[in-house]
Amino acid sequence: GQQVMQIPQYQHVQEGEDFTTYCNSSTTLSNIQWYKQRPGGHPVFLIQLVKSGEVKKQKRLTFQFGEAKKNSSLHITATQTTDVGTYFCAGRGAGGTSYGKLTFGQGTILTVHP
């Protein structure tokens, strides 16, 4: 079945440092979504990428979708304490038995030290 791997599992940074989490799928994706879950909270949708090679920015956050539509990354520039939380990618299968199925990566837990 479809697998979505996300690394690193944990990331500790000093406030002001950059942060990147990577997501890799075992199968080609039709689209990929990113969610943020604050400690004790629920996942909140951040963005969706659909096109091969797509890059989207939200203030200090930059999202990329790979050319082969099998990998994605989220980069945060100059982290702030408000960025603390778990970042999940969720890929939607493009074909076969995984068609339409949204599979979450394991998440990257970001800690920001002030």
Partner 1 sequence: DAMVIQNPRYQVTQFGKPVTLSCSQTLNHNVMYWYQQKSSQAPKLLFHYYDKDFNNEADTPDNFQSRRPNTSFCFLDIRSPGLGDAAMYLCATSRGQGTYEQYFGPGTRLTVT
Which residue stretch of 11-19, 25-33, 54-62, 68-76 sits at the interface with partner 1 (rule: CB under 8 A)? 25-33
Binder among 42, 59, 82, 114 for partner 1 (CB under 8 A): 42
Render the chain in DSSP notation, one character per residue: ---EEEE-SEEEEETT--EEEEEEESS-EEEEEEEEE-TTS--EEEEEE-STT-EEEETTEEEEE-TTSSEEEEEESS--GGG-EEEEEEEEE-SGGGBT-EEE---EEEEEE-
Q: Which of residues 76-105 bind partner 1 (CB under 8 A)?
A: 88, 92, 100, 102, 104-105
Residue 50, interface with partner 1 (CB under 8 A)?
yes
Nearer to partner 1, 43 or 66 (CB): 43
Q: Which residues bind partner 1 (CB under 8 A)?
A: 30-31, 33, 41-45, 48, 50, 88, 92, 100, 102, 104-107, 109
